[in-house]
Structure 1
Amino acid sequence: MADEQRTFTVVGLDLSVTGTGIAYRDGSTTTVKTKERDRDHRLTQIEEAVLIAVGDGDALGLTVDLVVMEDIPQNSHAAKPIAMVHGVVRNLLNKLGIPYVLVVPATLKFYATGKGSGDKVPMALAAYKRAGREFEDDNQCDAWWLRHAGLDRLGCPEFSLPAVQRDALKKATWPEVKR
């Protein structure tokens, strides 16, 4: 009997305190929008949304194999609030035993478009070109590309990309994922 290729479940997260993009295991996307007046309760809202996205353990077999997150941008005025969101989400993933990887924005852009700089429009165009996907906002687009980066790295890409773009993923420090 031939070995069947294992299918992995991957979630992509573009973390932000105001608009967190989530790409679910099935490829659908959403944005968790929070309100400034909710102050630190926004962290709880994001944590709850991520818990729904990744599953809550082995009871139903819904826990994902890997979460791919965009890393905290360097030299950004938003780095401090994003770092708070990262702390909450990383703590949750550690408690659940779910491995995660951080991908810097330039690496994600290069993976998606072949160019590591520029605005969000080329990423959206690349998603449309490769998979016919359109998104409500750039948070969802980034999360979708993060999910696909994880699937690609685990050997089960849903579409092809040039090797040079795929090789960009080697820049991230990927965790061991059980096969």
Structure 2
Amino acid sequence: MDTFPLFEPESAPVKPSPPAVVAFDLSLTASGIAYRDGTTTTVKTRSADGDRRLLQIAEAARIAVGGEHLGLGPAPDLVVLEDIPQNSFAAKPISMVHGVVRSVLLEAGVPYALVTAATLKVYATGKGNGDKTAMVMAAYKRAAREFPDDNQCDAWWLWVAGLDRLGASPVELPKAQRDRLDKVKWPEVGR
């Protein structure tokens, strides 16, 4: 019987897992969500449901964020929210939605960042006054992505911004556009 020396295979270097980011474009009627893998959805609510819509949005946020406390695996490293618009009729209802979603994030222990609409527009399109069409066109140009509505498109761009901040951008953007993210107050993210 021949004997062969035992060779231990060299272990491959362990690659760090990519950061996990979830993003929300919040609204009382139609909130866009971008999940960890970049897929998107819109949570639509009915005005006839009144404040119960807040519970629907909170549940969608819990599912999107997951977390060990829910038995859904690890929570994301970062959540990115479009900030509450200032001086807008929509500010009041969006503030209520922010309150319930932020409480979900606090319960899950997930750090989050707030990105103003103007900052997001400059980041995505290079122009602070870019409209919804410009955001959609930028997503198509940079990643061949199409969305059924602008809520999902904005959520996706927030997701891209979060990944970019964590050094894992899925798209390439000019430095001037990427530098716009320096205006955001980013939380410390432990990886």
Question: What fraction of aligned residue pairs are identical, expressed as a percent?
Answer: 64
Q: Could you say what secondary structure the match of 1:12 adopts?
A: strand
Q: 1:5 to 1:56 in 2, by over 3 A?
A: closer
Q: How many residues align?
A: 179
What is the TM-score with the length of structure 1 in the denominator? 0.96
Q: TM-score, normalised by structure 2?
A: 0.90
Q: Is the 2:120–2:157 contact (alpha carbons within 8 Å) kept by the matching residues of 1?
A: yes
| Number of the residue aligned with 1:158 | 170
1:26-62 C-alpha deviation (Å, 9 max, x unpaired): 1111000000000000000000001111103264423
Cα pair 2:122 2:130 within 8 Å, conserved: no
Q: For 2:41, what is the secondary structure of its paired residue?
A: strand
Give 1:73's aligned residue: 85
Q: Structure 1's 54 and 116: CA in aligned 2 closer, same or farther, altered over 3 A?
A: same
Displacement of 1:118 in angstroms is 2.9
Quote how far apart the aligned CAs of 1:21 are: 0.2
- Which runs of 5 or more structure 1 residues have no equivalent in the other structure? none
The alignment status of 1:103 with 2:126, answered yes or no, reads: no
What pairs up with 1:3-82 in 2 under 5 angstroms? 4-57=15-68, 59-82=71-94
- Per-residue deviation, 1:108: 0.2
How far off is 1:64 after superposition? 0.9
Corresponding residue number in structure 2 for 1:114: 126
Return 5+ residue gaps in structure 2 as ranges: 1-11
Counterpart of 1:25 in structure 2: which amino acid?
A: R
Whose Rg is larger? 2
| Matches of 2:107 and 2:48, distance apart in 1 | 29
Counterpart of 2:98 (choices 86, 94, 100) is 86
Aligned-residue CA RMSD in angstroms? 1.3
Q: Supply the AA of the counterpart residue of 2:81.
A: M
Contact 2:33–2:41 under 8 Å retained in 1: yes
Distance 2:189 2:73 in 1: 16
1:124 partner amino acid? V
